[in-house]
Amino acid sequence: MPHSKDAPIGITTLEDISALILQSHDLNETLRNIVALVARRMRADVCSIYLLDYDQQTLRLRATKGLSRRAVGKVTMQIGEGLTGMAAQERHPVAIKEPENHPRYRYFKETGEEKFHSFLGIPLFDRNAPLGVIVLQNRELRDFRKEEISALSTIAFQVSSIVVNARLLDSIRAKEEEARQVAAQLEVARQSLAVRETAKSPTGVSALTGTVAYPGVANGAAVILQERLGFADILHEDAIDSEVELRRLDSALEKTTIQTLFLEKRVAERLSESDAAIFHTHLMILEDRSFIEKLRNEIRQGHGAPYALEKVVAGYIEAFSRMDDAYLRERAADMEDIGRRLLANLVGNGSDHLLQIRHPGILVARQLLPSDMAALDAERILGIVTEVGEQNSHAVIMAKSMGISTLVAVRGLLKAVAPDDELILDANSGRLYINPPAAIRKEYRRLIADQSREQSRLEEFRERPARTADGTRITLRANIGLISDIEVAHRFGAEGVGLYRTEFPYMARGDFPNRDDQYELYRRVVEGFAGQPVTIRTLDIGGDKVLPYFAPPDEDNPFMGWRSVRVSLDNRDIFRTQIEAILMAAQHGPVRLLFPMISSLDEVRACRAVIAEAQSVLRRARLPHARNLPMGVMIEVPAAVRLVTRLAREVDFFALGTNDLIQYLLAADRNNPLVSKYYDPLHPAVLQAIAEVVANAASFNRNVCLCGEMATDPHNLLALLGMGLREFSMPAPYIPRTKAFLAGISLDYARQAWNEVAELDTSTEIHEKLGQMIDAIPAVR
Ligand code: PEP
Ligand code: MG
């Protein structure tokens, strides 16, 4: 890491966290990396993350740097219990010196907690709902400064969105969970069947167990991956000519490097750049001077190149295997992979690096290495079972990206399975059935058919444009805030960005970013979407979003106060600088400029004046920039709803910010759980207001994109489509199922839903009506 120990926590930390998320492959790994990074940057002896279990009551320690690792997953507390529980309960940062003296203090002996003299707990939220707490502890007495609390709150905000996203992905897999339950029932049936079978035949049903690395069910013939040449095959050679051996080594290094480049390219094409990064690491090792020097030294001491290789690689593998961290331990497999490929090139069969699979089947191997995964024909692999290996291995990570059901650590696998045995891989319950009886096969085949129908249904939608059943094209874009969201948006098939919330990067810094920093950031986003439109919204601070370096005024009503475009217009230099950066970034792709919280035409004209100023600054400085950006405003204040026809004469497009619009129309704070029942997207006043915007914008031929959360719920979506909306922007993981939902309804049906709902007087009736209409859609039931 390029930061000194004392570097202030700032954008680098947030960007580093984004990078960590990109590199991480599951929630636990991400949390582990985050606590390590935050502890270092915030100079804390302990950083821990507690998350609420699905029961919404129990806080569980999910990751820690500084407390005993054994406590992870085990230490739990109720909301309100101890200081951590207190932070969750009070929904406020809790900063306490000498925590032991605090009446709410509780000691958890499993954590190996020493005496800590300072405690800082910041709650994590998903909008209104508590998610968990991030905690810092120090041995010395420490005053957490206001900026530090604020910086940690920003990180807490980001951790929250990671957790929410991970849980969203979980719910996408809910179908698989159902399958798991069916499989469990089947297992009961299987056992009773096994008893009967055993009575008939002494062998019964043979099932091995292992660890689920990627869930799902598969059925097929065993394809056994033969062990390639290993170090055990090396004979110690005498009478060595060192010069010859050194040349052999050089040539093997060169060949292996070329092959690795080939593998990297192949994986980048098939999977993603981030998966291919594994081979980048391999290349770095192959070019690492100390690695090469160690090999040469062994040869100079009179050993043959293969023996030198074995010794050096074994040393590295040993060192990696002793690491505490599971992720680093798994890097031993990468070292072994490099060693094997080098060895194959040394002894002359290195060109055979593409493995052939004759027929589709379930791959059975002692261990898979990343290069195996790159070389295998993934289309023919129905499932993977390995005898060794952990869930963090790169090969398994790649299997996950390909969506292949995988079971690892299945003891006795290679002894039990023969080529072409019929296998049922149940990577939901962690079982592998070898030549199971007909009844089991039949049940699983049915299950597999259901599973693959559902999966291919969603996957199919991810790739193709969103359309209703009658073929009407709907546009689904992503809401993003950070660089790491780009990858997520692509993964879920977003058509560009409907809302880029630029305040997130501002929130993580020690002061306002300069124009170049902002330009760099926006350019990365714009280029990341390669020609797809990106709607960049100017700063929307205030309300619940506070910048650490921009002290918020003491307001009784921050949401009704100095917020959003009001702050920007009162800080013209800052505002103009941001617009300059956006205009510069807009040379790199189609950008649309969006102003938040507009409530009058005066504000729109003032914004236009700032754009003109920004353009003239850039012209004078001869800096390349885009000249004519489409300019739009958010409709999120009731005043703007009533002004749409007038606004339409002055702007190019509208973005419906229903998150705020609902709170302002219904006088119900979007973040206050006490009034959450009043915060209702299906309130007739909300629907009428949206319909008014849509109709008036259409009469002026102005595009409207709805970018509030309400579009993610099919009930709301049905009404919104019916009233004429055709473009939505949402958190990207919702996109595939939204497409699937759209494909199951016709526009006529949506119009009928809206016409009926528009006549209803109460939320209760509207909820009921839409519920019935959704239930009546075959594809959704
Ligand atoms: C909204 O208000 O609906 C919106 C999209 O903006 P934000 O959630 O950032 O306030
Ligand atoms: Mg808003």
Q: Give the closest residue to 647 by CA, choosing from 592, 703, 686.
A: 703
Pairing of strands 653-656, 703-706: parallel
Integer Cα distance of 598 and 604 in angstroms: 7
Each residue's pLDDT tens digit, 707-735: 998 998 899 999 999 999 999 998 887 88
How many angstroms is it from 532 CA to the middle of ligand 2?
Answer: 23
How many angstroms is it from 12 CA to the middle of ligand 1?
Answer: 25
- pTM for this predicted structure: 0.49
> Ligand 1, closest atom to CA 709?
3
Q: Are 686 and 639 spatial neighbours (Cβ–Cβ below 8 Å)?
A: no
Count CB atoms within 10 A of the CB of residue 141: 10
Q: Give the closest residue to 34 by CA, choosing from 58, 59, 54, 62.
A: 62
Model confidence at 6, in pLDDT bands (50, 70, 90)?
very low
Pocket of ligand 1 (CB under 6 A): 499, 501, 540, 636, 657-660, 707-708
Mean pLDDT of the residues in the chain = 82
Each residue's pLDDT tens digit, 193-251: 333 332 232 334 568 998 887 777 889 999 888 665 555 555 555 557 889 889 989 98
Top pLDDT among 378 and 123 is at: 123
Lowest mean pLDDT, pick from 127-136, 395-404, 762-771: 395-404
- The residues, any chain, with a CB within 8 Å of residue 512's CB and separated by 6 or more, are 506, 549, 550, 574, 577
Most confident option among 16-30, 178-192, 635-649:
635-649
Beta strands in 272-380 (DSSP E): 361-365
Pocket test for ligand 1, best of 125, 128, 479, 501 (most atoms within 8 A of CB): 501
Which neighbouring-strand residues pair with 545?
542
For the CA atoms of 512, 518, 524, 525, the dihedral, rounded to the nearest 10 degrees, stands at 80
Integer Cα distance of 376 and 395 in angstroms: 11
* Pure H helices in 632-745: 638-642, 644-647, 658-666, 684-699, 714-722, 735-743
How many angstroms is it from 7 CA to the middle of ligand 1?
Answer: 32
Integer Cα distance of 726 and 746 in angstroms: 13
Q: Give the closest residue to 466 by CA, choosing from 736, 214, 132, 111.
A: 736
Lowest mean pLDDT, pick from 169-178, 668-677, 725-734, 739-748: 169-178
Whose tokens are 């009930």? That residue is 715
CA 331 to each of CA 295, 390, 395, 488: distance values in angstroms, whole numbers, following the listed order? 19, 11, 11, 25
Lowest mean pLDDT, pick from 297-306, 452-461, 707-716: 452-461
> Ligand 1, closest atom to CA 655?
5
Instruction: Note the ligand closest to the C-alpha atom of 662.
Output: 1
Q: Are 441 and 424 spatial neighbours (Cβ–Cβ below 8 Å)?
A: yes
Whether the per-residue pLDDT at 188 is higher than 50: the answer is: no
How many angstroms is it from 596 CA to the middle of ligand 2?
Answer: 7
What's the confidence (pLDDT) of residue 328? 66
Whose tokens are 């006529």? That residue is 748
What is the per-residue DSSP string for 695-707? HHHHHTT-EEEE-
Instruction: Note the ligand closest to the C-alpha atom of 537.
Output: 1
Can you read off the two tokens belonging to residue 243?
């010069």
Integer Cα distance of 387 and 364 in angstroms: 8
CA 412 to each of CA 225, 369, 409, 432, 771: distance values in angstroms, whole numbers, following the listed order? 15, 19, 9, 11, 52
Integer Cα distance of 439 and 442 in angstroms: 5
Q: Write down how long the chain is.
A: 781
Lowest mean pLDDT, pick from 10-19, 343-352, 442-451: 10-19
Pairing of strands 46-52, 58-65: antiparallel
Integer Cα distance of 121 and 95 in angstroms: 7
Q: What is the mean pLDDT of residues 738-744?
A: 92
Can you read off the two tokens belonging to residue 397?
């990570």
Top pLDDT among 217 and 128 is at: 217
Whole-number CA gyration radius for the chain = 29
What's the confidence (pLDDT) of residue 189? 43
> Ligand 1, closest atom to CA 540?
9
Whose tokens are 């719920």? That residue is 713
Most confident option among 322-326, 436-440, 540-544, 748-752:
748-752
3 state DSSP class of 218:
strand
Each residue's pLDDT tens digit, 404-440: 888 988 988 988 888 888 999 998 788 999 988 887 8
Q: Give the closest residue to 34 by CA, choosing from 326, 150, 42.
A: 42
Integer Cα distance of 467 and 461 in angstroms: 10
Each residue's pLDDT tens digit, 636-660: 999 999 999 999 999 999 999 999 9
What's the confidence (pLDDT) of residue 453? 67
Whether the per-residue pLDDT at 187 is higher than 90: the answer is: no
What's the confidence (pLDDT) of residue 466? 95
* Pure H helices in 301-325: 305-321
Integer Cα distance of 589 and 527 in angstroms: 7
Percent of the chain with pLDDT over 70: 78
Q: Whose CA is nearest to atom 6 of ligand 1?
A: 657
Can you read off the two tokens belonging to residue 705?
């994109």
Where is 527: in which H helix or E strand? helix 515-528
Model confidence at 352, in pLDDT bands (50, 70, 90)?
very low
Top pLDDT among 160 and 342 is at: 342
Lowest mean pLDDT, pick from 86-100, 482-496, 528-542: 482-496
What's the confidence (pLDDT) of residue 470? 96
SS3 assignment for 92-139: CCEEEECHHHCCCCCCCHHHCCCCCCEEEEEEEEECCEEEEEEEEEEC
Integer Cα distance of 78 and 60 in angstroms: 9
Q: What is the mean pLDDT of residues 297-303?
A: 89
How many angstroms is it from 123 CA to the middle of ligand 1?
Answer: 21
Phi-psi category of 73—alpha, beta or left, where left has phi over 0 and alpha has psi -120 to 50? left
> Ligand 1, closest atom to CA 656?
3
Pocket test for ligand 1, best of 670, 707, 712, 713 (most atoms within 8 A of CB): 707
> Ligand 1, closest atom to CA 503?
9
Instruction: Note the ligand closest to the C-alpha atom of 500.
Output: 1
The residues annotated as belonging to the active site are: 394, 707
Whose tokens are 């992503």? That residue is 478
Integer Cα distance of 558 and 119 in angstroms: 28
Integer Cα distance of 465 and 493 in angstroms: 8
Q: Give the closest residue to 663 by CA, choosing from 701, 709, 629, 702.
A: 709
- The residues, any chain, with a CB within 8 Å of residue 528's CB and separated by 6 or more, are 483, 486
Most confident option among 20-34, 156-170, 180-194, 675-689:
675-689
Q: Are 208 and 432 spatial neighbours (Cβ–Cβ below 8 Å)?
A: yes
Q: Give the closest residue to 509 by CA, choosing from 5, 67, 2, 10.
A: 10
Cα-to-chain-centroid distance, residue 693: 33
Integer Cα distance of 483 and 495 in angstroms: 16
Pocket test for ligand 1, best of 502, 546, 599, 659 (most atoms within 8 A of CB): 659
Integer Cα distance of 426 and 220 in angstroms: 12
How many angstroms is it from 660 CA to the middle of ligand 2?
Answer: 5
Q: Whose CA is nearest to atom 8 of ligand 1?
A: 659
Pocket test for ligand 1, best of 634, 720, 725 (most atoms within 8 A of CB): 634
Whose tokens are 């897999």? That residue is 173
What's the confidence (pLDDT) of residue 687? 98
How many angstroms is it from 536 CA to the middle of ligand 1?
Answer: 13
Q: Whose CA is nearest to atom 4 of ligand 1?
A: 657
